[in-house]
C-alpha cells in the first residue's frame, strides 16, 4: 500500500472553516445569553448581566461575516453586495410601512417581525443573485 498525501486545503476551505468556527462561537455565546436571561430571575442575578454576553456574541458573528466577505474574490463580493443591497431595498420600505400602518390599522407587532422581513429580503436577494450570475 502506498500512502498518498491528502491535498492541502484551499484558501476558500480555510475561510469557510474560520467562518464556521467564529460564527459557531458567536451563536454559542448568544444562546448562553438567552439561557442565562431565562434563568436570571430565578437565581437572583440582574437581567442585564446575561445581556452582556450578547456583545461578544454579535462581535464574533460580525467578524465572521466580514472576514468571509473579505476572503472572496471580486465576483463573490459582487454577489454578496448585490444580495445585501436587494435585502435593504426590499426590507426598509416594508418595515417603515408596517411601522406607519401600526398607527392606523395593524396591531402592534413584535420587533422580530422586522428582523424576519430583513432576513427574507436577504434570502430573496441571494436567490436573485445566484440565478442572475448562473
pLDDT (0 to 100) of residue 8: 62
Q: What's the confidence (pLDDT) of residue 34?
A: 86
**28 band by pLDDT with thresholds 50, 70 and 90:** very high
Residue 3 clears pLDDT 80, i.e. is over it: no
CA angle 23, 55, 121 (to 5 degrees): 60
Contact between 114 and 76 (Cβ < 8 Å): no
* Mean pLDDT of all residues belonging to the chain: 83
pLDDT single digits (tens) 70-111: 888 898 888 888 888 888 898 888 888 888 888 888 787 777
Residue with the bigger pLDDT between 119 and 56: it is 56
Mean pLDDT for the stretch of residues 9-22: 82
Distance CA 87, CA 9 (A): 32
Q: pLDDT tens-digit profile of 123-132?
A: 888 888 888 8
- Neighbouring CB atoms inside 10 A of 26's CB total 21
Residues 6+ apart with CB under 8 A from 82: 125, 128, 129, 132
Amino acid at each position: 500500500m502506498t500512502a498518498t498525501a491528502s491535498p492541502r486545503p484551499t484558501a476558500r476551505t480555510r475561510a469557510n472553516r474560520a467562518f464556521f468556527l467564529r460564527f459557531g462561537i458567536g451563536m454559542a455565546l448568544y444562546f448562553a445569553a438567552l439561557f442565562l436571561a431565562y434563568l436570571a430571575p430565578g437565581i437572583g442575578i440582574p437581567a442585564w448581566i446575561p445581556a452582556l454576553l450578547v456583545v461578544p456574541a454579535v462581535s464574533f458573528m460580525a467578524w465572521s461575516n466580514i472576514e468571509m466577505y473579505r476572503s472572496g474574490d471580486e465576483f463573490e463580493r459582487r454577489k454578496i453586495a448585490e444580495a445585501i443591497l436587494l435585502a435593504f431595498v426590499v426590507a426598509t420600505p416594508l418595515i417603515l410601512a408596517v411601522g406607519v400602518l401600526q398607527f392606523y390599522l395593524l396591531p402592534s407587532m413584535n420587533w422580530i417581525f422586522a428582523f424576519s422581513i430583513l432576513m427574507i429580503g436577504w434570502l430573496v436577494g441571494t436567490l436573485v443573485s445566484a440565478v442572475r450570475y448562473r
